[in-house]
Amino acid sequence: MGKKKVVIALGGNALGNNIKEQKEAVEKTAKVIVDLAKQDLDIVITHGNGPQVGMIQNAMDGLATNYDNYMETPLPTCVAMSQGYIGIDLQNAIKYELHRQGMDVKVSTILSQVEVDKNDEAFKNPTKPIGRFLTEEEAKKNQENGIPCMEDAGRGYRIVVASPMPKKIRELLTIKTLVDAGHIVITCGGGGIPVVDDGGHLNGVNAVIDKDNASSLLAAELNADFLIILTAVEKVAINFGKENQEWLSDLTVEQAKEYIAQEQFAKGSMLPKIEAAIRFAESGDGRRTLITLLDKAAAGIAGETGTVIHK
């Protein structure tokens, strides 16, 4: 029997909201990752980038607004920047924790492009808010210039972009090669840099790929045994927040789909995680998705906690 392979999708609580918070958060995250590495697992790490890419986009927008010699920075470039600096913080924290525990394991970060279909229906209905808040006047001007905006939860207007489904991870062979060589690999940050294939030329597109969808695809393509989606709760619940709330330990794909039909999972938070979990579980025999807290990941793999979704 070879090593079990796990893809770990880190949630926002594993990274913090700014540079200082991130440095502190990744130290804790690194300890969890190294504890898993001790279990003789092949580990691939993915992560979100919501606060970080927003920070980068805001800074770049400010530069373009205040200085005539700077152009606006495309969103795919901002995603690439976020992958780089989140990746290096994670990589260094994990390397230090491995060193501290006397373990000789290599850690690599791969900037990754994820291909989407340029005809994806999501491009006709952009819904993902990004960047700084705008005044109504700025939003109207953007709309006149063909840049879609929408009001965001009573806080102001923001530019919205598409969130298409990931189709292909372009650096997959590189990732596989490093995993097979025993590296802990950090990749597909922020869902990957969104690109379309234009006759062999990869062009970035103004979109945000859901991190859990990209992680599900990566786990399937790597033939992983486990996809671990780390979030803010130890287990998934139905009737969440109500008197008859029920925590779930074990879910078949059919049960999960039934709960989706009952609208048991919040659209902006748990629903996309459950949908990504189902896609991975359905992608091959013996594939299981675990949803749990960061510090419960090892116990979840051991079957002691978390919610497992399987065929």
Residue 31, token pair as written in the block: 């300890």
Catalytic residue, chosen from 4, 5, 11, 13, is 13
Strand order in the sheet with 149-151: 128-134, 157-161, 149-151
Q: Are strands 157-161 and 149-151 parallel, antiparallel or unpaired?
A: antiparallel
The reply to whether 211 belongs to the active site is yes
Catalytic residue, chosen from 128, 168, 176, 311, is 128
Beta bridge partners of 26: none
The reply to whether 5 belongs to the active site is no
The reply to whether 31 belongs to the active site is no
CA of residue 292 relative to chain centroid, distance? 15
The reply to whether 273 belongs to the active site is yes
Q: Is residue 43 classed as helix, strand or coil in its secondary structure?
A: strand
DSSP 168-190: EETTHHHHHHHHHTT-EEEE-GG
Catalytic residue, chosen from 131, 190, 191, 211, is 211
Beta bridge partners of 185: 44, 108
DSSP 222-235: TT-SEEEEE-SSSS
Q: Give the C-alpha separation, 191 to 189, whole Å.
A: 5
User: Given the structure tokens 């949908």, which residue do they identify?
Assistant: 275
Q: Is residue 117 classed as helix, strand or coil in its secondary structure?
A: coil
Q: Is residue 146 classed as helix, strand or coil in its secondary structure?
A: coil
Residue 238, token pair as written in the block: 């139905």
Q: Give the C-alpha separation, 171 to 83, whole Å.
A: 14
Region for 278 from its dihedrals, namely left if φ exceeds 0, alpha if ψ lies in -120 to 50, beta otherwise: alpha
Residue 246, token pair as written in the block: 């029920």
**Residue 30 exposed, middle or buried by CB count within 10 Å (0-12, 13-18, 19+):** buried
Question: What residues act catalytically?
Answer: 12-13, 128, 211, 273
